[in-house]
Structure 1
């Protein structure tokens, strides 16, 4: 039987357009070890770990006449040197130059005739650093069964665990006649789905994708939608394929302090910081901001947990084959964190930062009571709390709603609060690069890692030329809340 794309995999595959490439990215910056880090070292490491992500050796094959969703097939001409590339900045390369490079690489669509991923080793960074930028198509990474390639090359120690040698041989690609026969058999076995497929075939690829958008995810909870469309905002405008990328790196201790002082979740603090930055950005543009002004965000929310090493060690055991995970249950008695998705109106019209935080905390608390969520321990067993894989979940959650219902997506994925390494090189920071949807000029992703909260802002180059202003305002909004937490009168 053919290994067919799921309905949501197919939706991402077909909905990709020139202005909305549907890949997600991750930028990781490393300190170069004393013995250096070479392109050949990265090639060797990824080649060893590909056994953990077998789909990264597979490409998508469409069926004639759109009889069924496409299938995954092994790439008989798989060439790892095509997917892992080398780039360099003029020494000493600055962070701004690195971000410009990431923006250009994000703008380029992936080659659909090959497995849908690329990885770039970026050399020449100042302060004895290098970077690895990965991008994987959203059809390739579901955050649950199929993980992101950048995750499986990270280790919790400087010495990579030994991997069993693997000789990979591609399976013979199925003949068109066999695929058509399988498709017809499935149509007969599932008449209702067959009817949808035939309707989609009549409308073309867009019809298939439109039908697939209603697929419910297995991990994220149901989204609480609103009856009305999102408020008008400069965040929603026609976009091109060209991107800008900006980052902000903040201290996790500040969020913990605010969280303790005002008895809210760290995610509430994150959303309040983003709200404050968006408020001041709108004012900087001369946009009308009244007391009732809001920005509606789609929030696939991940709650940070303080002690993740046990779960990550369990994930590392899975990499080396030392341990098999069983049923997904919380057995350690610790307080469970949850991952859920919902729409929230960010109160950008509210002048007072503490009141903004209070409004957000009440909204998220009301959602938490209605939505069961998925425990952090379960997610650790699924993905080792890999931020890129969790951001993939966020993108999938957003795709299930009409983009008219929200102004932007904010994804928050927890990462380990201890150092990670690639081939002995310590990772200093990791910034997510979330995809943009049609008519949405900005997406915000953030990842907590080793004491920091790292924001990655992916924006349309034309509609958001001032995205750097928002990153600067994130620091101001955080400082405003820190000051309020220090004020005993509040």
Structure 2
């Protein structure tokens, strides 16, 4: 049976390029010195991690497959088993120099995320990073978005972790790769599949996406399709260096705040839990803007795109959840970085988010390929880049919002910190992820090193932004003392 990439997976696959990446993943911090449950695991070293990954790969079969493109783009690429799959190539060991501080870990992760994946192999990597302060270790997963584009598939970090200490018991996996199809076989198969839809084939060849199609007609059709469904693109985002042309060099930073403090702020000012998080991000972006320009106009804003489900509840979520951003509708809203009062800024953030979350002109469907009905993709890469260029001015910063997760275990050891690695797309110099884990809300910042060279400072900005909200009095009154 032919296992072809879906239209969405193919779109993500073709999005990769200079300054653009469809990579995501997770950073997990673990203290392996604690005694793990005998039924759940034991040591957490390189050998045990490789063994764990080998057992769990049956839950994510695409992680043992490579993407194979069809000649001339006569069909979407195929998933085929990697006949030379070597788990030790993908699971790697690294270490930090002493003292193993968080800034050293973040610099290493930035360099790892800057490296492109090898397209001749399955599109993922995992790193066990030793030498953290306090005897802790970090595990970083780095996965291409096309690996888990469908809801039934999960990211590797979700497959290797458990919601209980004992973990999952899986049957022994005796995996043997199937012989990959040859290029001739793939081409014939793609043509045969296309011939079952002759009307689509003719239309593809002559009008939209075939090898004799005019490339400008593809662009025109693509633009009209997107414009009809995403009205807010006409209203361009504010000018910002955060929409600069990006490179492949990255910076990475993390920060966390107590969940109970977020609840206290939301209760005091009669707003939602997620309003508080958005207001904190607004405070971060205000401080960063002041560090860049020395002054910020009173009405200045930064436009962000946020999942619509972030407006669904008034409090932090409980339950198993997931830390990988799920596909779904999103909306754009403005963060008033020009407002110097933290309380007024919070009220403005809450009001704008409520208004725009219910506005069809500010809402977009989940990210979709431009021509999903066509099986033939000679200009698949062009279509993906056209999609990105159309969206390049619709917002300044994407915010990835994950579900709340109470507790997770890796080989029997509780994960102390869990951060989602956001995806940094073309002409986006900054991306932010928000993930509720345990008793804290954990933020990850990924940026273009050439544009946001001071990204490590954002960790401090976030703490300062929360502190001023936590200790602020009613609007118009001086801040309360701690």
TM-score by length of 1: 0.81
The offset of 1:176, in angstroms, is 2.4
Are 1:480 and 2:443 matched, yes or no? no
> Which of 406, 415, 430 is the equivalent residue of 2:404?
415
The offset of 1:137, in angstroms, is 0.6
Match of 1:175 in 2: 182
1:128/1:367 Cα in 2 relative to 1: closer, same or farther (>3 Å)? same
Is the 1:301–1:411 Cα contact (8 Å) retained in structure 2?
A: no
> Which of 110, 121, 127 is the equivalent residue of 2:128?
121
Are 1:363 and 2:352 matched, yes or no? yes
State the secondary structure of the residue aligned to 1:99.
helix
Q: How does 1:46-445 map to 2 (within 5 A)?
A: 46-142=53-149, 144-188=151-195, 189=197, 191-192=199-200, 195-196=203-204, 199=209, 201=211, 225-286=232-293, 288-303=295-310, 308-309=318-319, 311=320, 340-369=329-358, 402-416=391-405, 418-445=406-433
The offset of 1:212, in angstroms, is 8.6
State the secondary structure of the residue aligned to 1:131.
strand
Distance 2:133 2:462 in 1: 25
1:282/1:483 Cα in 2 relative to 1: closer, same or farther (>3 Å)? same
Instruction: State the number of aligned residues.
Output: 434
Is the 1:223–1:342 Cα contact (8 Å) retained in structure 2?
A: no
Gap regions ≥5 residues in structure 1: 217-221, 316-337, 374-397
Rg larger for: 2
Distance 2:150 2:262 in 1: 26
Is the 1:294–1:347 Cα contact (8 Å) retained in structure 2?
A: yes
Distance 2:275 2:242 in 1: 21
The offset of 1:24, in angstroms, is 0.8
1:369/1:432 Cα in 2 relative to 1: closer, same or farther (>3 Å)? same
Distance 2:424 2:75 in 1: 27
State the secondary structure of the residue aligned to 1:414.
coil
Distance 2:424 2:198 in 1: 34
Is the 1:186–1:194 Cα contact (8 Å) retained in structure 2?
A: no
Bigger Cα displacement from structure 2, 132-141 vs 294-303: 294-303
Match of 2:22 in 1: 22
Bigger Cα displacement from structure 2, 124-133 vs 351-360: 351-360
Are 1:465 and 2:465 matched, yes or no? no
Distance 2:458 2:317 in 1: 31
State the secondary structure of the residue aligned to 2:441.
strand
Distance 1:279 1:64 in 2: 49
Is the 1:75–1:115 Cα contact (8 Å) retained in structure 2?
A: yes
Distance 2:134 2:194 in 1: 59
Is the 1:257–1:485 Cα contact (8 Å) retained in structure 2?
A: no
Distance 1:489 1:340 in 2: 38
Distance 1:210 1:172 in 2: 41
The offset of 1:262, in angstroms, is 2.1
Question: C-alpha offsets along residues 209-245 of structure 1, whole Å, 9 cap, x if unaligned?
Answer: 99899999xxxxx866242211111212122111111
The offset of 1:40, in angstroms, is 1.3
The offset of 1:429, in angstroms, is 0.5
Distance 1:26 1:250 in 2: 18
State the secondary structure of the residue aligned to 1:225.
helix
State the secondary structure of the residue aligned to 1:44.
helix
Distance 1:420 1:227 in 2: 43
1:46/1:104 Cα in 2 relative to 1: closer, same or farther (>3 Å)? same
Is the 1:240–1:460 Cα contact (8 Å) retained in structure 2?
A: yes
State the secondary structure of the residue aligned to 2:244.
coil
RMSD over equivalenced CA pairs, Å: 3.1
The offset of 1:400, in angstroms, is 9.9
1:368/1:345 Cα in 2 relative to 1: closer, same or farther (>3 Å)? closer
Question: C-alpha offsets along residues 16-74 of structure 1, whole Å, 9 cap, x if unaligned?
Answer: 11322321131110011346421111111111111111111111000011111111111
State the secondary structure of the residue aligned to 2:168.
coil
Distance 2:343 2:331 in 1: 22
Is the 1:302–1:414 Cα contact (8 Å) retained in structure 2?
A: no
Distance 2:8 2:216 in 1: 13
Bigger Cα displacement from structure 2, 179-188 vs 93-102: 179-188
Question: C-alpha offsets along residues 145-185 of structure 1, whole Å, 9 cap, x if unaligned?
Answer: 22100001111222222211121122221232332223223
1:206/1:57 Cα in 2 relative to 1: closer, same or farther (>3 Å)? farther
The offset of 1:446, in angstroms, is 1.7
TM-score by length of 2: 0.82
The offset of 1:105, in angstroms, is 0.3
1:399/1:17 Cα in 2 relative to 1: closer, same or farther (>3 Å)? same
Gap regions ≥5 residues in structure 2: 36-41, 364-386
State the secondary structure of the residue aligned to 2:426.
coil
Match of 1:12 in 2: 12
Question: C-alpha offsets along residues 307-332 of structure 1, whole Å, 9 cap, x if unaligned?
Answer: 634x56xx9xxxxxxxxxxxxxxxxx
Q: How does 1:447-462 map to 2 (within 5 A)?
A: 447-462=435-450
